[in-house]
Amino acid sequence: MSENAPSKLGVLVKHLQKAFRNPDGSVTEALEDVTLDVPAGGFVSVVGPSGCGKTTLLRLIAGLLPPTSGEVWVDHRRVEGPGRDRGMVFQAFTLFPWLTVYQNVAFGCRYLSVDPQGTRERVHGLLEMVGLTDAAKLYPHALSGGMQQRAAIARTLMAEPDVLLMDEPFGSLDTQTRDLMQELLLDVWSRTGKTVLFVTHDVEEAVFLSDAVAVLSARPARVTHVQAVGLPRPRTFETKSVGAFTQLRASVAQRVRAEARVTMA
């Protein structure tokens, strides 16, 4: 499943804490103390009630935000800022509107030294993997949401990251598209062997995709539970109706719901 050498460490999040200072001087605590381990080549999801700090956690790991305290390690290196080793896919549609699909994907290796011939081959390979070969010359405004997110995934892979950070990438898509995208992502993951940390508020999605699902508490976030998902792979749409799957989903949903109630109270 994984092409990574056994010495690789994946992502290690150690006692991460993040507080924001508001313009009025007050302080909002987003993360209280988050510790998380994503083994190399593994697929871990993070779920939690809305507004609990899932996105903040991902941005901290990406290095887009500095933590208040604690640290993130990616494969023996301490994270000190954004870097190409951690590719990120966002919930918002982030393709550059001034570039075609082909150019967007090629942008992924803009800061790598790859010869033009190699770039062309890799872009075509990735476009084929995400089923966008025919859309290569289109501009993003002509694409559906699902196509845009597939192109965004291809662009991220183009930079050859060790880790894929995914921030509710299918959150803005309709249910049918989302189901197909989940299967496509599992296919891409099994082919590339990347380490994936996937944030979502959709428990079914998390259980379906992951080796383990971490449940965050209401804000300020802590990891309240890590649920291992032992369902066999490859998983397909039918997996979602298997008894073991529905039980896991119900049990994780129960925990998220308990945290969501804290927010409501």
Which residues sit at the interface with another protein, rule CB under 8 A? 62-64, 82-84, 86-88, 90, 92, 94, 96-99, 107-108, 110-112, 139-141, 155-156, 158-159, 165
Smaller CB separation from another protein, 55 or 263 = 55
- For another protein, the closer CB: 156 or 227: 156
Q: State which residue, 164 or 221, has the beta carbon closest to another protein.
A: 164
* Least spacing, CB of residue 253 vs another protein, in Å: 29
- Residues 52, 216: contact at Cβ < 8 Å? yes
Decide: 109 and 126 in contact? Cβ < 8 Å. no
Shortest gap between Cβ of 50 and another protein (angstroms)? 19
> Which residues is 227 bridged to in the sheet?
213
Residue 79 beta carbon to another protein: minimum distance, rounded to whole angstroms? 12
Closest approach, Cβ 83 to another protein, in A, equals 7
The two structure tokens encoding residue 120: 């062309």
Burial class of residue 91 (count of CB atoms within 10 Å of its CB; 0-12, 13-18, 19+): middle
What is the spatial distance between Cα 149 and Cα 153, in angstroms, rounded to a whole number?
6
The CB-of-139 to another protein minimum distance in angstroms stands at: 4
Find, among 89, 107, 90, 109, the residue nearest to 98 by Cα: 107
Nearer to another protein, 22 or 113 (CB): 113
What's the CA gap between 200 and 90, in Å, rounded? 11
Nearest 5 degrees, angle CA 140-CA 50-CA 201?
60
* CB-based burial, 129-159: b 16+ in 10 Å, e otherwise: bbebeebbeebbeebeebbbbbbbbbbbbbb
> How many CA within 13 A on the CB side of residue 102?
10
Using the minimum distance from each CB to another protein, give the nearer residue, 73 or 139.
139
Instruction: Closer to another protein by CB, 65 or 231: give it.
Output: 65
- Min dist. Cβ of residue 119 to another protein (A): 13
